[in-house]
């Protein structure tokens, strides 16, 4: 899986914006190996996965 991100400057610290393709693949990975393992493997917070899933379902 290619890790497509871009850094966005904010007043506190830069944050990453992940591409829709990356988000979709991350959700699939989480379904296969579990949220915690996928978050650890992809260096994400578990809450990001839940937010992405909610947005994808809308």
Residue 32: name the closest of 19, 42, 18, 45 by CA. Answer: 42
Q: What is the pLDDT of residue 11?
A: 67
Residue 5 included in any domain: no
Average of per-residue pLDDT values in the chain: 83
Mean pLDDT for 5-15 is: 67
Residue 6 included in any domain: no
Residue 36 included in any domain: yes
How far CA 10 is from CA of 33, 47, 48, in Å, comes to 33, 20, 18
Mean pLDDT for 7-18 is: 72
- Residue span of the structural domain in which 41 resides: 32-58
Mean pLDDT for 35-54 is: 89
Prediction pTM value: 0.66
Beta strand ranges found along the chain (DSSP E) = 5-8, 15-18
Residue 3 included in any domain: no
Model confidence at 53, in pLDDT bands (50, 70, 90)? confident
Task: Report how many domains make up the chain.
Answer: 1
């Amino acid at each position: 899986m290619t890790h497509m991100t871009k850094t966005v400057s904010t007043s506190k610290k830069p944050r990453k914006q992940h591409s829709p393709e990356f988000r979709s693949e991350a959700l699939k990975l989480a379904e296969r190996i579990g949220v915690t393992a996928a978050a650890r493997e992809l260096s994400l917070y578990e809450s990001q996965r839940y937010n992405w899933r909610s947005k994808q379902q809308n």
